Structures are given as C-alpha cells and as structure tokens.
C-alpha cells in the first residue's frame, strides 16, 4: 500500500479509530491490531511475500534466545546463523542474479562459456529494511544491550510496524521495543505534530518530487541532444527529486507513527545544508548511516586502529552502503565517489568538525564561508547522484562528459536560458521552507501567524487532493527507495 494512494487514506483512519478505541483495553490488543494492520499494509502489494516477511521475523525471534545464551560459543553460533539467514534472503532475492551475471562475464573473458540460472522473481518491497531490523535486534542481544523478548507479537510489530516497514527509517530494538511494550496515551500535541509532518511529507512527494520527475526524466532520457546548462539543471532536479521523495516518505512515516503514540528515529536532517561530505552523511538517511557505523564500522575497528585501518573501514562502509542500494555497479561507483570525497576530511582530521548544530542555527542567514561550503558540498553530491540515477556507468560518464565538453565548445550557451528551468519553481520554495524549519526536523515550525499557518496548510492540502483526483484512474507513483 502506498502512502500516496486512496486505499491508504481509507486504511489509516480506520486503523487509527480502532487503535485508540482499544486503548482502554489491554495493551496486547493494541499491538495485535498494529501487527494485523501492518500485514494488511504490506500484503496490499503481494500477499505471497508476507510468507517471507513472517518467516524472517520468526527466525530472528527464535535466534534471539540462542544469542542470549550465557554460553558465548552458543551465542556466537546463533548470531552467525541470523546473519547468514538475513544475508541469504537478501542474496537470493536481491543479489543472486548480479553475481551470476558477473561470474558469467568473468568466465567468458577466459574463454569458458557458462549458462547460469537467472531467477525470474520480483524484489520483495522493503526487504533491505526489515532484514536490517532483525539483524540489529540480535546484534544488540549479543552485545548485552538487551535481553531476548518473549512476546512474539511485540517483536513482530518492531520488525514490521507499517509506517516504517517498506522504506524505513531503520529502527533499533532499544529505541522502538520499549515504546511497543509500554502503554501509549493519546496526545493531541503529538498527533498535531504528526499531521503536520504527514502533510509536509505528502506535499514533498506528490507535488515536488513527482513534479520534478517529469522534467528530470525528460532530460536524462534525451541527454545526448541537450546543452550543458540543461544537463546541469537535470542533475540538480534529480538531487531534489530523490531528496523530496525519500525524505517525504520518512516524514509521512514519522508523522503516522506519532498518531499512534510512537516516536521513530529521524532519517533526514536537512542534508543539503551540509558544509562537507561528513556532515552530509550525518544528515542523509541517518538511520542507515548510523546502522552501518554501529554494526559494521565500529566492529571493524573504526578509526581507533590507525589511519590506514580507518581509511580501509571508511571505504568498506561506503562501498557496502552503495551495494545495499542495489545490485549494480553504478551504486558501488556512487559509494566509491562518496568515499573519495570523505577521505580528505578523514586524513586531515576534519570529518567531525560539524557534528552538533545545523548551519546558522542561531542566525537568520549563513555567512559567505558557510554558503560556499554548502554549495560545494551540494555540487559534489549532485555529481555523485548522476551515477546513482543512471544504471549504466558508461552512460553516466558520457552524461558528465557532455556537460564538460559542451561547456568548453560553446561557453556562450550559458548566456542563454537553458532548458529545465522548470525545476527551479519547485526547488526555490522548498529551500526557503527547509531553511525556515531547519532547527528541528521532527516538528514543522509554524509561522507566528495562526491564520497564515492555516492558509498554508489548506493550500497544500488542496494541491495534494487535486493531484490525487486528477490521476485517480492511474497507478500512484511509487517511492524511489521502494526499489532498494
């Protein structure tokens, strides 16, 4: 079920009413309702993949008891069993065909012809997210940070709570499970914050991201005939398209969870206001970045084993992060580009210089140095997004080459208006809005004028509703991160 669909607009209020009706009953009934609702939400795509989700959930629930054993040998055995199970699921559904094709190419290069079996199966939605939920649970038990949970329903809700099930944020057992196990009390202020987040997230997806997609797709599909300025506008447009698409989903997820009395982890903290690549990765897809840091980077030794090991671990993290996004060389290349951008900061010990407040936290505007840092970081990130957007690396390189070659051959083209300027109509208002609310990503900061707040909300709602009914006979556009 898509957030930006008519079925969800019916599903959510029904579950909300039943959920709070049960608040006077036992907590287990509320959790059972959430589990059933989550399975319905997920099964809306394909009921057959519910079996995979339920099996994955059950196995990690059972492994948890083994990992919690006092015998470290037994605990380590079940930990590796869980890792093998989760990576095995990902390997079969997400990575098998990629490796089969790579082995075929490698053997053919030395004159050996093979005919590997290629699996004709769809990628289950959200598989990369719910497998990481399960692994984080058993990792935390192994590290002694929590005990195995005995109530299966509570654990299952942690894995597949419907707001975060298919595209995150990637939750931690120590953060979400206590909320599931304790009684929730309806809070009007929390619900109001949730509705504002949902409205803003829906606007970013339905109006901005989907609006940008029209121009962006046209530019990328016809790049070989366009000017350098137009290609640059296309790349910038995609940067904001993927940001609004994914952060919009995360804000709808956070807002929906608030309606049910839950506080999920933040996933985006205004990443395009970052002053360097290190800060960008502390603000972009935060739940994934922190997951890799805690469960891969630190166990590998982090930065405590010397610069050489720190460089090695950094490249491993970025390459794995790229591969997590998809079984394709372009994603690995995208990760390598970010690793190369991060490396100078690491070597100069400047990778943690922006770890606290967002830029110009106590000022209305950034200074010139901060502005140039933000623009430079955004330019680098936008360049990397080209390789994320185009699956064929040769085509991605040609896209970049055409920008450079066209610019040198015809520098006067920048005097003329480039194509793709339509993206600015979406981007500029978004930047202004994000700058206004940049101090807290979890709360949509209202203006001092109540009437203006209501007017803005009503206008946004009208735009969203109009879009819903305009394309009522068409399939709603999916979220980009559903592919991963």
372 has pLDDT over 80: yes
Pick the catalytic residue: 325, 338, 354, 416? 325
Q: Residues of the chain with pLDDT > 90: what percent?
A: 52
Average pLDDT, the chain: 88
Whole-angstrom distance, CA of residue 157 vs CA of residue 150: 13
Q: How confident is the model at residue 473 (pLDDT cuts 50, 70, 90)?
A: low
**Residue whose C-alpha is closest to residue 33's, from 55, 17, 48, 45:** 17
Whole-angstrom distance, CA of residue 421 vs CA of residue 427: 10
209 Cβ contact list (under 8 Å, min separation 6): 240, 241, 242, 244, 245, 248
- For residues 387 and 393, the answer to whether their CB atoms sit within 8 Å is yes
The pLDDT of residue 162 is 92
Give the residue with greater pLDDT, 452 vs 407.
452
Summarize pLDDT for 282-332 with one digit per residue, the tens: 999 999 999 999 999 888 887 777 888 889 999 999 999 998 888 889 999
Whole-angstrom distance, CA of residue 117 vs CA of residue 308: 40
Neighbours of 348 (CB within 10 A): 9
Summarize pLDDT for 119-147 with one digit per residue, the tens: 777 778 888 888 988 999 999 999 988 89
Summarize pLDDT for 225-251 with one digit per residue, the tens: 888 888 999 999 999 999 999 999 999
Can 325 be counted among the known catalytic residues? yes
Per-domain residue ranges for the chain? 6-185, 189-275+354-483
* Token pair of 118 as six digits: 């290629």
Q: How confident is the model at residue 355 (pLDDT cuts 50, 70, 90)?
A: confident
Whole-angstrom distance, CA of residue 280 vs CA of residue 375: 12
**Residue whose C-alpha is closest to residue 6's, from 366, 469, 433:** 469
474 has pLDDT over 80: no
**Residue whose C-alpha is closest to residue 61's, from 168, 127, 141:** 141
4 has pLDDT over 90: no
CA angle 298, 181, 160 (to 5 degrees): 65
Three-state SS for the chain is CCCCCHHHHHHHHHHHHHHHHHHHCCHHHHHHHHHHHHHHHHHCCCCHHHHHHHHHHHHHHHHHHHHCCCCHHHHHHHHHHHHHHHHHHHHHHHHHHHHHHHHHHHHHHCCCCCCCCCCCCCCCCCHHHHHHHHHHHHHHHHCCCCCCCCCHHHHHHHHHCCCCCCCCCCCCHHHHHHHHHCCCCCCHHHHHHHHHHHHHHHHHHHHHHHHHHHHHHHHHHCHHHCCHHHHHHHHHHHHHHHHHHHHHHHHHHHHHHHHCCCCCCCCCCCHHHCCCHHHHHHHCCHHHHHHHHHHHHCCCCCCCCCHHHHHHHHHHHHHHHHHHHCCCHHHHHHHHHHHHHHHHHHHCCCCCCCCCCCCCCCCCCCCHHHHHHHHHHHHHHHHHHHHHHCCCHHHHHHHHHHHHHHHHHCHHHHHCCCCCCHHHHHHHHHHHHHHHHCCCCCCCCCCCCHHHHHHHHHHHHHHHHHHHHHCCCCCCCCCHHHHC
Q: How confident is the model at residue 31 (pLDDT cuts 50, 70, 90)?
A: very high
Summarize pLDDT for 190-211 with one digit per residue, the tens: 999 999 999 999 999 999 999 9
The pLDDT of residue 123 is 75
Q: Residues of the chain with pLDDT > 70: what percent?
A: 96
Q: What is the pTM of this model?
A: 0.90
The pLDDT of residue 244 is 94
Q: Residues 397, 377, 374, 443: is their CA dihedral positive or negative? A: positive
185 Cβ contact list (under 8 Å, min separation 6): 23, 261
Q: How confident is the model at residue 472 (pLDDT cuts 50, 70, 90)?
A: low
């Amino acid at each position: 079920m898509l957030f930006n669909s008519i079925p969800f607009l019916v599903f959510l209020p029904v579950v909300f009413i039943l959920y709070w009706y049960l608040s006077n009953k036992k907590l287990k009934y509320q959790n059972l309702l959430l589990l059933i609702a989550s399975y319905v939400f997920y099964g809306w795509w394909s009921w057959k993949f519910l079996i995979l989700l339920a099996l994955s959930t059950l196995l990690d629930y059972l492994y948890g008891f083994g990992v919690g054993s006092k015998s470290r040998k037994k605990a380590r055995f079940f930990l590796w069993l869980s890792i093998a199970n989760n990576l095995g699921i990902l390997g079969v559904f997400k990575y098998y065909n990629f490796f089969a094709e790579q082995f075929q190419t490698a053997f053919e290069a030395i004159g050996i012809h093979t005919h590997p079996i290629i699996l004709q199966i769809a990628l289950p939605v959200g598989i990369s997210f719910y497998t990481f939920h399960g692994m984080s649970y058993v990792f935390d038990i192994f590290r002694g940070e929590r005990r195995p949970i005995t109530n299966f329903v509570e654990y299952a809700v942690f894995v597949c709570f419907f707001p975060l099930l298919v595209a995150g944020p990637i939750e931690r057992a120590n953060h979400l499970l206590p909320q599931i196990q304790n009684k929730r009390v309806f809070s009007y202020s929390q619900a109001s914050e949730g509705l504002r987040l949902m409205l803003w997230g829906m606007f970013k997806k339905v109006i901005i991201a989907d609006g940008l997609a029209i121009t962006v797709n046209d530019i990328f599909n016809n790049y070989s005939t366009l000017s350098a300025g137009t290609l640059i506008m296309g790349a910038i447009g995609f940067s904001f398209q993927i940001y609004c698409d994914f952060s919009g989903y995360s804000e709808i997820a956070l807002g929906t969870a608030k309606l049910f009395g839950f506080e999920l982890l933040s996933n985006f903290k205004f990443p395009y206001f970052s002053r360097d690549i290190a800060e960008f990765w502390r603000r972009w897809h935060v739940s994934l970045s922190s997951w890799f840091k805690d469960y891969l980077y630190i166990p590998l030794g982090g930065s405590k084993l010397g610069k050489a090991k720190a460089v090695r671990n950094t490249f491993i993290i970025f390459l794995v992060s790229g591969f997590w996004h998809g079984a394709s060389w372009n994603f690995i290349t995208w990760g390598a580009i970010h690793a190369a951008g991060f490396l100078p900061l690491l070597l100069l010990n400047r990778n943690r210089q922006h770890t606290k407040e967002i830029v110009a936290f106590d000022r209305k505007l950034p200074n010139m140095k901060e502005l140039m840092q933000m623009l430079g970081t955004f330019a680098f990130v936008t360049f990397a997004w080209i390789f994320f957007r185009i699956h064929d690396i040769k085509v991605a390189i040609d896209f970049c080459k055409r920008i450079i070659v066209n610019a040198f051959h015809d520098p006067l083209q920048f005097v003329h208006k480039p194509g793709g300027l339509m993206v600015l109509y979406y981007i500029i208002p978004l930047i202004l809005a994000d700058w206004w609310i940049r101090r807290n990503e979890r709360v949509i900061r209202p203006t001092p004028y109540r009437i203006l707040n209501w007017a803005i909300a009503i206008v946004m709602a009208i735009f969203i509703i109009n879009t819903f009914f305009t394309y009522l006979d068409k399939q709603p556009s999916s979220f980009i991160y559903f592919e991963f």
